[in-house]
Amino acid sequence: MGNIAAAATLQEQIQRAITAHGVFKVRLSLIVEAGTADVTVAGAGADNLCPVGQWLYDGLGPSAKAGPHYENVRALHATFHRAAGEVMALSLARKQGEALAAMETPSTFKQASDKLVAALTAWAESLG
């Protein structure tokens, strides 16, 4: 996904963040289905290592971080990654069925993901 912030308006950056989030979810699902991992539990659970986290922490300027949407998106992103870490822990414990179930509705993972995308979308829409 690369650098989300590179030469883009905030609205474009948010759209790139939504795409990057989707890519992460697909990648995690494929890892769980394969029963192998190139990601650790800590890596999946960290909210600052993926492209979206890097953008949230290091790619946004002070004005974007001071706005009304940033803190909500950051908190939802952290919640999502905690749930992703739990999915990865189940997968690495060879509990594939439980890991896959933990990614489906009405799981914490699915709810956090949906809320994150909704918050990002609201942020983009607020920009006009």
Domains of the chain, CATH where assigned: 10-126 (1.20.120.30)
pTM: 0.92
CA distance 47 to 35: 23
Cβ burial, residue 15 (10 Å; 0-12/13-18/19+): middle
pLDDT band, residue 1 (cuts 50/70/90): very low
**Residue range 115-120: mean pLDDT, rounded:** 98
Higher pLDDT, 37 or 63: 63
Whole-number percent of the chain with pLDDT over 70: 98
- The reported pLDDT for the residue numbered 38 is 81
Residue 2 has pLDDT above 80, yes or no: no
